[in-house]
């Protein structure tokens, strides 16, 4: 059975990622309308009936806007911690079938062991996930204010590291965004800049690491060419040019990444 990661969209305009093993897919977040999500699944060659569960990182609208609508349409369970589920319920984004997970405690969905871990971000109880299946580990951490010890521990040594590389600090400071927003993004509960994300490769990458996927890339305070250039040169300096770097896109799904 093939293990695939398909990023349907990543960024402040909407997030959704599918991790699938054979015909069993787990959707992480859905910040898109039902129509748009189905369109992106179709572009990626994923049949909607292979999506068997929805898991939620946090309640910001770019992650949950389409959560209820897609979970109910596909008749699947939504997994979220209790605090996040409550916030989702308040804005009518929680599907009919809901299961709570405890942040920090692994849970099982079919052949996946999924460990949610606390992330520093300005949501009620933001989490990242480590997926384990077939002896392979995928670490997922978007919307990360700062890489604290726990987040680094969880991502370290994963075969695939999926990490936010949100903004270029200089571009953010020079942007026309209001000061309060710049302050929020730069805070320990905001978003991760390129230097902190890519600088952390030294601590996160081990001999197990094969792929790094960088996402939630700002459309106006960052450039894909900057992120890619920094990531590639960092890996080169570590003598790890064997690691593939992929950038997640906002406006179109990325090509499915096969993990073998």
- Note the residues at the interface with Zn ion (CB under 5 A): 60, 62, 143
d(CA 165, CA 199): 11
We find the least distance from the C-beta atom of residue 241 to Zn ion, in angstroms, to be 30
Minimal distance, residue 120 CB to Zn ion, in Å:
11
**Segment holding 41, helix H or strand E:** helix 34-43
CB of 184 to Zn ion, least distance (A): 10
Cβ nearer to Zn ion, comparing 60 with 68:
60
Least distance from C-beta 121 to Zn ion, angstroms? 6
| Of 16, 50, 20, residue with least CA distance to 111 | 20
CB-nearer residue toward Zn ion: 161 or 259: 161
Dmax over Cα atoms in the chain, in whole Å?
49
Least distance between Zn ion and beta carbon 179 (Å)? 20
Q: Which is nearer to Zn ion, 143 or 168 (CB)?
A: 143
CB closer to Zn ion out of 62 and 125: 62
Torsion-angle region of 143 (φ positive above 0: left; ψ -120 to 50: alpha; else: beta): left
Beta bridge partners of 258: 4
Cα–Cα nearest to 60, from 155, 191, 195? 191
Nearest residue (CB) to Zn ion, 12 versus 209: 12
CB of 136 to Zn ion, least distance (A): 26
Nearest of 41, 64, 72, 62 to residue 218 by alpha carbon: 62
Distance CA 48, CA 40 (A): 10
CB distance 53 to 79 below 8 Å: yes
Cβ proximity to Zn ion, 143 vs 193, nearer residue: 143
């Amino acid at each position: 059975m093939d293990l695939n990661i398909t990023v349907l969209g990543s960024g402040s305009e909407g997030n959704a990622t599918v991790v699938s093993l054979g015909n069993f897919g787990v959707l992480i977040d859905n910040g898109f309308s039902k129509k748009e999500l189905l369109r992106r699944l179709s572009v990626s060659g994923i049949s909607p009936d292979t999506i068997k569960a929805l898991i939620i990182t946090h309640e910001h609208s770019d992650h949950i806007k389409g959560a209820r609508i897609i979970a109910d349409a596909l008749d699947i369970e939504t997994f979220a911690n209790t605090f996040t589920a409550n916030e989702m319920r308040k804005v009518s984004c929680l599907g009919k079938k809901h299961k709570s997970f405890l942040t920090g405690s692994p849970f099982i969905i079919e052949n996946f062991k999924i460990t949610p871990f606390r992330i520093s971000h300005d949501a009620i109880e933001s989490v990242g996930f480590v997926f384990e299946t077939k002896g392979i580990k995928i670490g997922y951490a978007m919307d990360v204010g700062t890489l604290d010890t726990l987040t680094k521990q969880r991502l370290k040594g994963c075969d695939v590291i999926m990490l936010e590389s949100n903004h270029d600090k200089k571009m953010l400071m020079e942007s026309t965004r209001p000061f309060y927003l710049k302050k929020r993004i730069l805070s320990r509960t905001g978003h991760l800049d390129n230097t902190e994300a890519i600088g952390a490769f030294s601590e996160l990458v081990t001999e197990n690491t094969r792929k790094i996927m960088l996402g939630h890339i700002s459309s106006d305070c960052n450039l894909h060419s900057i992120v890619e250039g920094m990531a590639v040169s960092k890996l080169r300096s570590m003598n790890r040019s064997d690691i593939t770097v992929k950038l997640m896109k906002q406006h179109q799904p990325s090509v499915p990444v096969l993990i073998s």
